[in-house]
Structure 1
Amino acid sequence: MSLRRLVLPLIALCLGGSALGGLGVDGVSGATYTATSSHGAAVGAANDWTPPTVALGAVAGTVSGTVGLTATAADDRGTVASVVVQRAAVGTTTWTTICTRTAAPYTCSWDTTGLPDGGQALRAVATDDSGYTATSATVLTTVDNATASVRITSPVSGTTLGATTTVTAEAASNRTVDSVALQYRLAGAASWTGLCLDTVAPYSCTWDSGLVAAGSYELRAVMTYAGTRTLTSATVTATVSGTVRGSDVQVTDVLTPGMPAMGDVITLTYSGVVAPGSLRTGWDGTGSTPLSIDFHGQNVLGNPITASRDWAAFVGANLGHLSFEQNYVQPQATVRFAASMTRSTQTVGGVPVTVVTVTLGLPTSGAMNLKSGTSAASISWAPSASATSTTGSPVVTTTVVEKGVLDRDF
């Protein structure tokens, strides 16, 4: 036996086939080499020089509960001894074994219920019978085991709403329920308007539905839970009957600061459209129509808003009453003014509303009882229920307080 036949297999065993190129040997096959010396020694060359291949199957972007995982692995010379499927929280390098399989199919069940919600990285590691290993590409997914539900419980779909409506929602989650926002919009509109944000059950608030125009409205609840997640309820559709209420009252002084006088203007704004014939019998709402205003001093009985304050009553028109924090008339006295009113329809917040403008004329009686108010104060207005919406619903008589910066009014 030649020395070359003995030495070359030993070199191949120790250095690999590529090392033989420098010795004038073109290559080494994958077969087992056996050499025998005169001393009876036998040497075997490795028959597997490559690691296995391994891949982890696709996983949904968001997972919950128990998830099936499947890996594939192969080895071109030997056999796959094991496949280990592992996970690690995204942003960490600590890998935890989910399962180990020693024979195909390399599948296992991953129970995610004990994990915190958030990103997880998955991989498979294969080992062949020669000890070579290979790691698959990483697959990313998000664990989300939070459960949540939210719904509007009142009103129910099909309800016709009055002037005020209590909107109530029910919300639950196996995480924290942080808040529930109640919202409404005109059916089919693009945007929602917030009613309230409630953080404690029962989740409810009062909607002044009389402040919006008649029509079909949608209600919904938007629940925030587990810190940043949101869930929106199904919508509930209800009908606003067209109930109208007062929205604002303003007074503009023209000539005599601090005292009611000819030319002063009282502006009454409703939340919707009021039938002009209900404001004054037979009036079509065009032009101006006459009326009188009685200004009463303190202790004149009949103030429907606040006792023991100056107040005013509209005579000859269904406009209701005013109450003042100022004293414009001597106690227990009354001053009557001639006046006229006009009506217009304006758009406020996208809703058509009736605005009545009352302009004071000259006093017709009791002018000597007038006095001047010197401080900024608010004025209140209680509309008359004799006025009605265009659908015939009485105007709500809830008192309206002047909006904006306090002034001396008259």
Structure 2
Amino acid sequence: MKHKIFSHTSLLIILSVILTFLAAGTVMYNRYDIYMKQGVRDEAAYIKTGLEEDGDVFLSDRVGDATSSRITLLGKDGQVLFDSIENPEEMENHSNRPEFIEAEKQGSGEMVRYSDTLSKQTFYYAVKLKDDQVLRVARTTDSLLVTMLTSFLLLGGLVCVILVIELFLVQKQTRKLIEPINRIDLEHPLEHVCYEELRPLLFRLDQQNRQIQKQLEDLKNAESARKEFTANVSHELKTPLMSISGYAELMMNGMVPPDKMQDFSGRIFHESERLSNLVADIIQLSRLDEKNGETMFEQVDIGELGEDVINNLQNRAVKKKINLEYTGGPAQMQGVRHVLYEMFYNITDNAIRYTPDGGDVKVFVGKLNGKPYFRVEDNGIGIPESEQQRIFERFYRVDKSHSRETGGTGLGLSIVKHGAVLHHAKILLDSEPGKGTKMEILFDQTK
């Protein structure tokens, strides 16, 4: 940063000094040029007056070495009559010189001629006398380029001095600029904002800190949930396996009377079926968690799925003498067919499991305010308010004392929750112990 500031500042300073020098030099040179030309004109007027009063003797007696200007007197035909520097007899005719021609016509004329060899310029001013002779006064000066070049040594010294001063000031100022930045508290960047220009950056940094902190908390929660889930899976799998192993060992050792053989076989079948359902639910949850399963969305009639669910659960309801009532009709939506079926099946199955014999379970499938809608109502045992937020957790059961009797895996409502997330749906729960439960799923689709 310090190097960039110094290099950029140096470039600006050097450019500023050079441009200022060139501009000032040009202005001063032009002003000097104006004064020089006016001086030559004034000098020519003075000599003209002397010549007209005293004649040619004025040039040799009074002018002489009194001026650095070159004085030339020309005849009517352009012949050189007098020259303060060279021998007139050796000089060529000046009748073709522009300043002479202009003076002959208008009374005065001037011209600037450059010498590329000497890098100088000469200003000629000619004025016509009363006797038709022409007086010419000339003064030679350096050209603008030469004037600038001769000053470059001074300019170089000035730039060097300025760069030394600049280096000292830049280092000092850079330290002052960087010091507040180095003192920024990266964990709490918005507490002390040293420069308003940094506020957007510090705001983003603060957001990232919060996001990282949240992710760390989420990782801890996820790790805790994973350990709990692993422990629950191990426990839930071990229970039916131990039952199956125990019953099978008794049968193998001939310790089961023949009249009890069918009962023990039924228990083994019941436990194996429970184990199979548990494994299937675990696989379904894993697919929903990882989103690696079959998530191909298609046009689905949830009214048709509702009828399938009722048909498949009717026998279970009949065994408990539960009145399973279905109402509604066709309702099209985009979804994953088997996931929607699992959601409806699990909610309805739970209602039947936790409703006493002779109770009522009502299922409605259709639309609510133009959106796909599913509802199950029962007059079962209900869910205490303190536990209503936990029923969607894996392996959580409200009625733990009768969990084995109901035969559930404890994963059904967790599958419902994941399916709702997949389909952007809301789950609404209304329940009261002893009076029953109403569970609704409202899908965020209008087609």
Tell me if both proteins adopt one fold, taking TM over 0.5 as the criterion.
Answer: no
TM-score (norm 2): 0.26
Structure label with greater radius of gyration: 2
Higher helix share: 2
